[in-house]
Amino acid sequence: MAQYAAELDGVFVALADPTRRGVVRRLGRGPTSVGDLAREFPMTLPSFMKHVRTLETTGLIHTVKAGRVRTCVLNRDRLALVDDWLAEQRGIWEGRTDRLASLLTEEDQP
């Protein structure tokens, strides 16, 4: 459970940055080279590479080098961590609101 929490924290930290979310969004359409990705963002290549490394470290993307071209690929399975956590939270809150609605309905009845 602790490892799951640490992995989830890392994914949320990575997704907290708008540039990294933009990279994930772009890679959702398919793999692309680092150079092509970097052109979409107003920063230097070394600064952009820090974002790529963060996404790679958290497992959200992986890169493959072929010759001089490094291609980034989205790891959709890693996004399942977020989806699972959100589903769990949704279930908890739906259960709470259902109990509250039930309680309020019981109080309204004579």
Check which CATH number belongs to the domain holding 73 and give it: 1.10.10.10
Q: Which domain holds residue 47?
A: 2-108
pTM for this entry: 0.76
* Residue 96 pLDDT: 65
- Which residues have C-beta within 8 Å of that of residue 4, sequence separation ≥ 6? 81
Q: How far is CA 11 from CA 17, 29, 39, 96, 103, in A?
A: 11, 20, 24, 27, 37
Per-residue pLDDT tens over the stretch 53-91: 999 999 999 999 999 999 999 999 998 888 888 888 787
How many structural domains does the chain have? Answer: 1
Neighbours of 100 (CB within 10 A): 10
Write out the two tokens for 84.
């699972």
